[in-house]
Amino acid sequence: MSVRGKRIIITGAGSGIGAAAARMLAEAGAELGLVDLVEAETRTLGRELNAHAFQADVRDETAVETAINAAVRALGGLDGLVNCAGTATVQTLENTSLTDWRRLVDTNMTGVFLTCRAAIPALRASGKGAIVNLASASGLTPSFAGAAYSASKAGVVMLSKALSRELAPTIRVNAVCPGAVRTPMFSQMTGEAIEAETAVGAGYALGRIASPEEIGTAIRFLIGDDSAFITGVALAVDGGRSFH
């Protein structure tokens, strides 16, 4: 009941954590606007969930403003924004090109800035809005993913905290910081082999990596009314990787 009837936009909704969160929020009764770079995936999920689907590259200011405004119109207002769009790399800083650095920072951090900025007026108009930004445990303590990725996600953590202060008391802002999650992005970084999951999970207190739904549970909690007295939090959902 915490999210029933709430009008929520999710970026990066086409796959992975974004898709899992979308399914969980739809099941809980939320009305959704789905935004993703890959239009086919978003529209397929939109049909499945009876949700509105929009295509946008979160690095593109005009595309973001167009998609967010269209979603707000389709939903008849906005109560929540979930930023799941992101990308990763496994490169050391010495092997990171300027192109890759910009891709990581522009997608992971600037994309969050652009979507939040576009959504703030509608969230404020609702009288009680919430934003959940997907950061990473690598934004709390660095990991094998590399300095560029860790820096971009640390930026999301601090941007979320700063926004929680700027937008209070009308809009709450929190970040979710997952460890490794069984998603297409994880497979792209480590390969499909079960050995990769086992090797990474062995470094976690709980001895495994997460399912997308386990991260979706945290997102659902922070975007809903059950967390009405929580803002400015960077919630580690990482199986004991960082112990924050």
Provide the annotated active-site residues.
149
The distance between the two most distant Cα atoms of the chain, rounded to a whole number of Å, is: 49
- Asked if residues 12 and 18 have their Cβ atoms less than 8 Å apart, the reply is yes
- Asked if residues 59 and 35 have their Cβ atoms less than 8 Å apart, the reply is no
At residue 38, what are phi and psi to the nearest 5 degrees? -90, 105
Place of tokens 């086409």: 14
**How many residues are recorded in the chain?**
244
- Asked if residues 159 and 133 have their Cβ atoms less than 8 Å apart, the reply is yes
The SS3 assignment for 188 reads helix
